Amino acid sequence: MNDVYRRWRLALLVVWALLGLLVVLFAGFLVYRRF
């Protein structure tokens, strides 16, 4: 299928992945600080 939004979706995926990583790292940091 010719996906006309492929570039945008790829960009979004990359940004979301970085965002998810950031959330996980932040959560890990909070746990580390708590204990």
Partner 1 sequence: MSSPMGRKRPHQYYTYITTQDDPNYWWIAGWILAFPFVVVINAVWQAGTAAVAYTSGVTAGLGFGANPEPLPARRPVEGLGEPAYTQYLFGQAWRDVTHTVAVALRNQQDAIKVEFGRVAKLHFHTPQDESAAGRRNVIKGMALVAGGALGFLVADLLVVVTLLAQAALMGLLWVGGIVVIYTLRGADSALLLIRGIRITCPHCYCHVPYPGYRCSECPALHRDIRPGRFGMLHRICRCGMRLPTLLMLGSHRLQAVCPSCDQDLEESAGHAPEVVLPVFGATVAGKTQLLAAVTLAAEAVLSRSGGTVEASDEYARAWYRQVHDIRKRGTRVTKTPVTPQPGIALTLRTASATRHLKMFDAAGERFRSTNRVQELAYLRRREDRPVIVFVVDPLSIPKLWESLGEEQRRALEPMRAATSPMSVFEGTVPALHGMRAETEKARVAVVVTKADLIEEQIKAARVGANDSIRDWLAGPLEQGNLVRAIGHEFHSARYFLTDARLDQPAVSPSVETFVKWLLAERKVRL
- By the criterion CB under 8 A, which residues form the site for partner 1? 1-6, 8-10, 12-13, 15-17, 19-20, 22-24, 27
Looking up tokens 């746990």, which residue turns up?
A: 31
Q: CB nearer to partner 1: give 23 or 32.
A: 23
Looking up tokens 């492929």, which residue turns up?
A: 6
Q: Kindly compute the dihedral angle of the four CA atoms of residues 5, 7, 10, 12, in this order, to the nearest 10 degrees.
A: -70
CB of residue 33 vs partner 1: minimum separation in angstroms?
17
For 13, the token pair is 């995926």
Q: CB nearer to partner 1: give 4 or 32.
A: 4
